[in-house]
Chains A and B, each alone.
Chain A
């Protein structure tokens, strides 16, 4: 369990570097996570995915099915990997501040 300082806040992360408490998420964290997951510049396209993930998680308490994420955001899986090199699970979910999908995935 690590704490990082983002502006005036102490944010707690788990051992995989994911946000411990989804309510701690703010837009400043995204830049921090982007560096961790080799994202580079965070563009409109990144935000489209991040916002979709956050909305879905708020509504359903879990990350959306990858195919649905692709369809609703209009990006192919290859494009998602282009935006988030570590993938929809490890990369996009981390930047979106939602828990990493677990299980046989």
Chain B
């Protein structure tokens, strides 16, 4: 379909997910109907669509535009793809004056362009920070992807993950016996490394704390899970992971709002079933945003607190027995921590405590650049574009000179940034999670 390299989900898979493919002649009508619905329910979206003076400030601040130099990746132009249609059909001046009022008909190319460009936005929200009106292009992207999905236009990558989630409660499709096998292996690793019998409880009844890691922690990012297990062991917490909900991520947030609500509901159900008083989310960016910002409104009120592993670690880090690691390390602020999750100083506090030298990259905190993989753009067919999206990030890191470790405390960043650094010629830079370092610095008895 048009210029996008995305592999799209086939009809039978779309249907299996509970969606239906809208036939081409009806697509325009359906899309406008869905936009009309969003207009009724999302005031924030309406504000974004009705505001923009084309001042152009966002252009210099968006890594997607800077990396690809593609006009439609400039945030105001990207939002215009939806805004022009909105104006044509939902505003008086748009209906009357068409092009003169910045309005545009919905034609055969519209959906093509939406698919191409709303899936080149990382939903990082950096544009919103610099826009004089605070227009959040990510909100427009979320709406556009939602409309596309309602027409059955869903990238195969998203559909596959959602199908895995429905079947197993995690994005990787890890069934319970595989999880138990992996946990057993991890416990063996812990015993071998520390000489201590550190457990990773699975579905332990009566647990006070439900820890929800990214499922990638059970495939590639093992040290993150091991670090957390060591910490909880040291703290003596009564905790467990849940085989029904092994996923901090919420891919629904990245392509369809109803799926987002469903994934969130699974988390709430799992926590309630265990009777947990505290849910701790692991190193997952957008999952943290979804859990922290959306739970109360969509599935609340909930009888438990939701916190991030970095929040709880930062609170106790000063009391932990640590051997500082002899590393010169920097921190990449994941977008969904720094701009959407209020997790800015906590990772820094932890990092300063566990390494000998902490250097900031520039810019940092809420002004940090996205890794380029955000909003689930990790599919293989997007690799070339993703490497362009990661250019600003690579430049930031290379500007720091000799580094021993790059902290990338989000699963998407962990998948994307190694590929980006390799692409830009930086080999041999160790990188990984923050809890990985906590685990390595912690002195266990």
The residue that B378 contacts in the complex, of A16, A64, A104, with Cβ under 8 A, is: A104
Stretch at the interface among B139-147, B216-224, B232-240, B398-406: B216-224
List, in ascending order, chain A residues with CB within 8 A of B414's CB. 104
Is the pair B222, A65 in contact by a Cβ cutoff of 8 Å?
A: yes
The CA of A61 and the CA of B179, in the complex, are separated in Å by 11
Q: Say if the beta carbon of A41 comes within 8 Å of chain B.
A: no
Does chain B have a CB within 8 A of A90? yes
Contact between chains at A15 and B7 (CB < 8 Å): yes
What's the dominant secondary structure at chain A's contact region? loop
- Decide: A67 and B172 in contact? CB cutoff 8 A: no
Known A102-B157, A104-B415: A60·B216 in contact at CB below 8 Å: no
Whether B160 contacts A102 by the Cβ 8 Å rule is yes
Q: How far is the CB of B185 from chain A (nearest CB, A)?
A: 5
- For A17, the closest partner residue in chain B by CB is B380
Is A101 an interface position by the 8 A CB rule? yes
Nearest to B157 among chain A residues (CB) is: A102
Decide if B171 touches A65 in the complex (CB within 8 Å): no
A105/B175 in contact, CB under 8 A: no
B24 interface hit (Cβ, 8 Å):
no
Interfacial residues of chain B within 65-104, with CB under 8 A of chain A in the complex: none
Q: Are A67 and B177 in contact (CB under 8 A)?
A: no
Binary CB contact string for chain B from 335 to 365 against chain A (1 if under 8 A, 0 otherwise):
0000000000000000000000000000000
Bound-state CA distance A57–B122 (Å) is: 33
Digitize A81-105: 1 where CB-to-B-CB distance is under 8 Å, 0 elsewhere.
Answer: 0000000001000000000111111
**Number of residue pairs A-B, CB distance < 8 angstroms:** 76
Closest CB of chain A to B372's CB: distance in Å?
A: 14
Contacting residues, chain B, for A64 (C-beta < 8 A)? 182
**B264: interface (CB < 8 Å):** no
Please, how many residues of chain A have a CB less than 8 angstroms from a CB on the other chain? 20
Q: How far is the CA of A62 from the CA of B100 in the complex (A)?
A: 56
The residue on B at minimum CB distance from A66 is: B220
Contact between A67 and B189 (Cβ–Cβ < 8 Å)? Answer: yes
B161 near A65 (CB under 8 angstroms)?
A: no
CB pair B222–A67 under 8 Å, yes or no, is yes
CB proximity of B118 to chain A, nearest CB, Å: 20
**A103-B215 contact given A60-B178, A62-B173, CB 8 Å threshold:** yes
For the complex, give the distance between the alpha carbons of A103 and B284 in Å: 12
Closest residue of chain B to A67, judged by CB?
B222
Taking a contact as CB atoms under 8 Å apart, the answer to whether A15 and B175 are in contact is no
Which residue on chain B has the smallest CB distance to residue A16? B380
A63 contacts chain B at the CB level, 8 A cutoff: yes
A68: Cβ under 8 A from any B Cβ: yes
Contacts A103-B161, A103-B249, A105-B415 known; A60 to B175 CB distance under 8 Å? yes
Please give the distance in Å from B88's CB to the nearest CB on chain A: 35
**Nearest-neighbor residue (CB-CB) of A63 within chain B:** B219
Q: Does B181 contact A (CB under 8 A)?
A: yes
8 Å CB contact of B172 from A66, A71, A102: A102
Interface residues of A in 10-42 (CB under 8 A from B): 15-16
A15 and B249 within 8 A (CB): no
Contacts A15-B381, A90-B380, A103-B171; A65 near B219 (Cβ below 8 A): yes
| Residues of chain A within 8 A of B58, CB atoms compared | none
Cα–Cα, bound, A71→B181 (Å): 14
Q: Which of A15, A61, A90, A105 contacts B178 (CB 8 A)?
A: A61
Give the shortest distance, in Å, between B419 (CB) and chain A (any CB).
Answer: 10
**Cβ of A71: which chain B residues have Cβ within 8 Å of it?**
185
Cα A15 to Cα B220 with chains together (Å): 24
Q: How distant is the Cα of A24 from the Cα of B249 in the complex, in angstroms?
A: 32
Shortest beta-carbon distance, B190 to chain A, in Å? 12
Which of A15, A60, A101 is within 8 Å of B181, CB to CB? A60
Closest to B373 in A: A104
Interface pair B222/A15, CB less than 8 Å apart: no
CA distance A63 to B174 in the complex (A): 9
List, in ascending order, chain A residues with CB within 8 A of B178's CB: 60-62
Interface string of B141-184 (1 = CB under 8 A from A): 00000000000000011001100100000111111011001100
Known contacts A62-B173, A105-B219, then 16 further A-B pairs from the complex at CB < 8 Å, ordered by chain A residue = A15-B7, A61-B173, A61-B175, A62-B172, A65-B182, A65-B219, A65-B220, A67-B189, A68-B185, A101-B172, A103-B170, A103-B171, A104-B214, A104-B215, A104-B216, A104-B412
22 contacts between A and B (CB under 8 A): A15-B381, A60-B175, A60-B177, A61-B178, A62-B178, A65-B219, A65-B222, A66-B219, A66-B220, A67-B185, A68-B185, A102-B160, A102-B171, A102-B172, A103-B170, A103-B172, A103-B215, A103-B219, A103-B249, A104-B249, A104-B414, A105-B216
Interface residues of A (CB under 8 A from B): 1, 15-16, 60-68, 71, 90, 100-105
Q: What 9 A-B pairs are tightest by C-beta distance, nearest first? A: A104-B411, A103-B171, A60-B178, A103-B172, A15-B7, A104-B216, A62-B178, A68-B185, A104-B412
